[in-house]
Structure 1
Amino acid sequence: MAIRLVAFLTGFGLSILGGVSCIMYLNLLAAGFTIREYIQFILERTECYLLVAGFLMMTVSIYFPTRQ
């Protein structure tokens, strides 16, 4: 139980970091990037993958069956 809670909270933190990074890079649209260039830029940034990793970690911690 405690391991699942720690995994969930770690995943939540990672998803926050990744989400903030993606939102921060939205300023590139105001600088003249197109949506296509923005998405390509996001896919090249490592810190934006934390959003996906965090969601995956939270999903696994919620839905993975525990040993009883």
Structure 2
Amino acid sequence: MVRIFIMFVGFGFSVAGGISLLAYLNLLTLGYEFSYYMRFITTRVEFYLFILGVIMVIGSLAIPDRRK
């Protein structure tokens, strides 16, 4: 039950962060370079929220269950 909760919370974090990162891709259409985009998103909370969410989802799926 805890694994399902962690997976759903991680999924929510990764969706919230991923949508924001996709929205920030509009900086490229304004003429900014990709290197500037990468430096910009590493300073944003959404990037770390996305990474944390992906780690939580992978962790909840990869860690074996204690029950046999």
Mark yes or no: TM-score above 0.5. yes
Q: Contact 2:18–2:46 at 8 Å: present in 1 too?
A: no
Structure 1, unaligned stretches of length 5 or more?
none
Number of matched pairs? 67
Structure 2, unaligned stretches of length 5 or more?
none
Distance 2:2 2:25 in 1: 35
Per-residue CA deviation, residues 16-36 of structure 1 (Å, 9 max, x unaligned), is: 011001001011111121000
Pairwise CA RMSD: 0.9
Output the amino acid matched with 2:37: Y
Output the amino acid matched with 1:9: F
Q: Matched residues, percent identical?
A: 39
Output the amino acid matched with 2:52: A
Q: Contact 2:13–2:49 at 8 Å: present in 1 too?
A: yes
Normalised by the length of structure 1, the TM-score is: 0.91
Which aligned runs of 4 or more in structure 1 are off by greater than 6 angstroms?
A: none
Report the equivalent of 1:49.
48
